[in-house]
Each structure stands twice: as C-alpha cells, then as structure tokens.
Structure 1
Amino acid sequence: MALKHATSGEVVNLLQTSGSLGLISQALVSAPRLELMRLVLPAGKLVPRHAVTGPITIFCHQGNLEVQVDADWQPMDANDLMYLDGDVGHALRALSDAIVLVTIFRPPGTHASVDT
C-alpha cells in the first residue's frame, strides 16, 4: 500500500500516524520542486554518506543526532536546524531515538528522492 502524501492546504502532525503502522519514516510531501520527509531514526541508526542535487534543510524535531559534513560530525539536538548546499555529501547518525524533518529543494529537471 502506497503512503499518502499531504495535499495543498492539509495539516500534517509530525508525531501522529494513521492506522496501526506506528510512526515511520516517510515522504510527507512530494512535489516537482520540493520533497519533505519525516525520518524516524532509532538510536544508533546510521544513514550512510550521500548527496542530493538541490539544497536541503535538516531539522531535528526530537532526540539527538550527528550530521557528518566533510570530515566533521556536527551534533544536533531537538529544535536545531542545519542547511546544506546542493551536492554536499553528508551522513546522519542517531545518538538517541530521533525524529528529523528533511526538506529537499529540487532544481528544475531533477526528480531524485532519497531513501533511508
């Protein structure tokens, strides 16, 4: 069953789920120029190094994580936000159970999505 994406004007609660699946990582919005994803990362989860074409933001909604940019690991706590230019390689590591909101801005002509 495909997960439902939010529609224009729809309110989405980042901590609420529909059905009995529990809180899961999912693309909340998928539009030609924008993708918004909720990542649910259990403590210890590593999202390997990757890059996307457009600029992104990473918002730590709950928990603690580290983001690797170049060789440096930057800590992020709840309510911290990080901006990355397009094509910047990065990795994520959850230090505790974390909920992260990732926004990807897609340049015209790109349609790639990121899997976790």
Structure 2
Amino acid sequence: MALHHAQHGEVVHLSGVGVDEDGAHTTALVKTGAFEAIHLIVHAGVVIPPHHVAGQATLHCLRGRVSVLLPDAAAILQAGDWMYLDGGEEHGIEGVEDAALLLTILFEHPTASTVG
C-alpha cells in the first residue's frame, strides 16, 4: 500500500497521527525535491540511536519532552521548543515524556544556471 503524502492545501490533523504506537513512530507527511516533513512520536524511555541526515533539519516539539543527544551535550525540548540541526551532524533522541515532534529536513538543490 502506498503511503499517503499531503497534497497542496490539504489539512493534516497531527494530534491523531501515530498516537497509538509503542516506542517511536514516524509518519512522513510530505516529501518533495526540496524538503520532507515527518511527524515523530517518541514515548518516554525510548531512545532513537545517534544518526545523521544529509540535509539541514529542524525539530519542533509539539507536546511532551525529549532529550536531543548531540556529540558534546544533550538539550531538552519541550512543547513549543524548536531546534535547528546542521546537515550531516550526528544526533539522537530520547523520550523524557511521551512526545510528538515535527521534523523538517531541507534537501540541497543544485542552483540553476542562467543563460545571459
């Protein structure tokens, strides 16, 4: 079955996405050549091991609380907090409380050359 991605102008109600799962659960909301938006549920005590993504990313904590595990430190995100992550930089996530995050990954594009 193909995964449904949001279409232009479509309203997606995030509070009902992936809430009945145990552990960590991701739902891709939309993916284009420029970016990907992912709804991420992380339950208390669950650890997403250190990893990296190729593009620059942002994490917006919608509810709950997580610890973002960085190479030299950890940062707590709670509801309403937002964080920027450089592309290629390692990070992990640990659920402090049941949490929901909006992850956005920006992809690199070659610049179009202009003819003049």
- Please state which band the TM-score falls in when normalised by the shorter chain: 0.7 to 0.9
Aligned length: 107
**Does 2:105 align with 1:104?**
yes
Distance verdict in 2 for CA 1:17–1:55, change over 3 Å: closer
Residue aligned with 2:30, SS? strand
Amino acid at match of 1:11: V
Are the equivalent residues in 2 in contact too, given 1:32–1:106 (CA < 8 A)? yes
Q: Which runs of 5+ in 1 are unaligned?
A: 110-116
Paired-residue identity, %: 36
1:112 alignment counterpart: none
Query: Looking at CA atoms only, which structure, 1 or 2, has the larger radius of gyration?
Result: 2
1:35 alignment counterpart: 36
Are the equivalent residues in 2 in contact too, given 1:28–1:38 (CA < 8 A)? yes
Whole-Å Cα distance in 1 between the matches of residues 85 and 49 of structure 2?
16
- Root-mean-square deviation (CA), in Å? 1.9
Whole-Å Cα distance in 1 between the matches of residues 20 and 73 of structure 2?
33
Measured after TM superposition, the shift of residue 17 of structure 1 is 4.4
How does the TM-score come out when normalised to structure 2?
0.84
How does the TM-score come out when normalised to structure 1?
0.84
Greater percentage in strand: 2
Are the equivalent residues in 2 in contact too, given 1:3–1:26 (CA < 8 A)? no
Structure 1 runs, 4 residues or longer, greater than 4 Å off: 21-24
1:11 alignment counterpart: 11
1:51 alignment counterpart: 52
Whole-Å Cα distance in 1 between the matches of residues 40 and 17 of structure 2?
13
